[in-house]
């Protein structure tokens, strides 16, 4: 037997899509509730086990009762978790953006003397760099956050 497109009317397609959407929505809600049960730090293990058994064994009634009894706090717990994740992410970004620590004066002088001994810099350049290291007037390793980088272009004459 061959089915044609007109054997499945448009209203049936609508109802099928609606039921499929509700089915997916149901599983999303079920998994969010199960996640919330484990996320709640105020509940002890027996309470978590009881709610979990209630939600799994009697899913429709368990989800309905859970949303009525603890639905308001679900949002608060989710917001607090999102804020904690944002704080951790911001701390990671600050730590990563800070870069490596600034080398000590002794390390800088050692590096400068190696450059001079290899012939990469002249005695005059070594003296100027040594004076900068000893007076600690070195430029910062990285610009402060939010400041645009300065180009290494020499100024043009006449401007």
Q: How far apart are CA 87 and CA 109, in angstroms?
A: 39
Q: Nearest Cα to 139, choosing from 102, 84, 90, 98?
A: 102
Tens of pLDDT along 17-68?
999 999 999 999 999 999 999 988 888 999 999 999 999 999 899 999 999 9
| All structural domains of the chain with their residue ranges | 7-98, 105-135
Burial of 39 (0-12, 13-18, 19+ CB in 10 A): middle
Full-model pTM: 0.51
Token pair for residue 88?
């951790």
């Amino acid at each position: 037997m061959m089915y044609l497109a007109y054997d499945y009317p448009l209203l049936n397609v609508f109802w099928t899509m609606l039921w499929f959407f509700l089915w997916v929505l149901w599983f999303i809600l079920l998994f969010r509730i199960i996640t919330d049960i484990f996320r709640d730090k105020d509940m002890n293990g027996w309470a978590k086990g009881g709610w979990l058994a209630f939600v799994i064994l009697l899913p429709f009634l368990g989800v309905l009762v859970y949303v009525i009894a603890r639905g308001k706090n679900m949002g608060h717990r989710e917001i607090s978790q999102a804020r904690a994740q944002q704080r951790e992410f911001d701390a990671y970004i600050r730590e990563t953006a800070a870069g490596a620590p600034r080398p000590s004066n002794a390390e800088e002088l050692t590096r400068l003397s190696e450059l001079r001994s290899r012939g990469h810099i002249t005695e005059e350049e070594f003296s100027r760099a040594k004076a900068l290291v000893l007076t600690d007037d070195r430029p910062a390793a990285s610009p402060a956050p939010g400041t645009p980088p300065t180009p290494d272009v020499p100024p043009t004459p006449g401007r």
